[in-house]
Amino acid sequence: MCDEGPGIALEEQRRIFEKYYRGDAAAQRPGTGLGLTLGRRLTEMHGGTLTLASSPGHGSTFRIWLPRPVAAVAVIASFP
């Protein structure tokens, strides 16, 4: 997911996946600071990764990578 917002400061990027952490920009918005923590944990439980790429003033990109299930690989490999 990409946005063209203000980006996330480097110090906040280091902490953004911590439980209950909410950056300065989130102070005026409702939330608990659990969304990214849970998202990363669930992604990792499925063998994947959730990453952030951001630079202040240029927006942010969150990427989720999940491995293809073995059954799907076998089906795809069986096509001519």
Does residue 69 carry a pLDDT above 80? Answer: no
> What pLDDT shows up at residue 70?
72
Identity (one letter) of the amino acid at 33?
G
Tens of pLDDT along 5-40?
Answer: 889 999 999 999 999 999 887 888 899 999 999 999
Q: Region 66-75: what's the mean pLDDT?
A: 74
Judged by DSSP in three states, 59 sits in coil
Residue 71 φ/ψ, nearest 5 degrees: -60, -40
- Give the chain's mean pLDDT: 88
Average pLDDT, stretch 34-61? 94
Q: What gap in Å lies between CA 55 and CA 75, rounded to an integer?
A: 40
User: For the residues 30-55, what does the mean pLDDT come to?
Assistant: 95
Beta bridge partners of 50: 64
